[in-house]
Amino acid sequence: MRGALLLALMVAGPVAVPAAARNYEVLGNLEATVNPGCIAAAGADAGLSPPDLGLGVLACAKAGQMERALDLYILMQLRAEFDKKRVVDKTAWQAEDVLSSSVAQSMGTKRRKALEAEFEAFGGDGSARHKAFCAGQKKAGAPSHSPRWMVAHGMGAVIGDKGQGDGTRAGFKPNSAWSRLLKDYLHCGG
């Protein structure tokens, strides 16, 4: 988790796209549906999607509340990882990287560096902030937001693959997936 966050913050510079490349967009791709403002991650509604949380990150960064911005950034990535567990189309999973880079780039250099410094202050696994974050997410439970933002990013959505249904895995168990993510991805312990 630590490496993915830091990489997304560091790689947030402009990306060159070949002149012959085409960009296909599907309605809902990386789409936020709610702007939560600068909220505390512990109080983030389970229905907020990663793009919604990205707007919260930007609101907090703009307000100079970098501790909240970082907590929302981590939650944004955690919920994106959750969506990768339930979205069938592996090409859609890149939505997490695109969203993370987009949010980091939208902050501008000064705020991005402040977020990086806040990340270092957060500490590693087992730090007081890490434990508090884990406790908050265990209490909050599994997200309930729609994964449409990610599903619409994949090639299945671009080519209109009807065999995917709504794009999610049949029989997906959100509570057990969330518990596994907290343990394996966020290293929250048992």
122 in any annotated domain? yes
50 in any annotated domain? yes
* pLDDT at res. 60: 97
Long-range CB pairs of 102-109, under 8 A, 24+ apart, other chains included: 102/30, 102/54, 103/54, 103/57, 103/58, 103/73, 103/76, 104/8, 104/9, 104/12, 105/12, 105/13, 105/14, 106/58, 107/12, 107/57, 107/58, 107/61
- What CA–CA distance (Å, rounded) separates 18 from 22? 9
Structural domains in the chain (count): 1
109 in any annotated domain? yes
Domain that holds residue 109: 2-7+36-185
pTM across the whole model: 0.82
Beta bridge partners of 87: 168
Q: Render pLDDT for 122-165 as a digit per residue (tens, 0 to 9).
A: 988 989 999 999 999 999 999 999 888 887 766 555 455 655 55
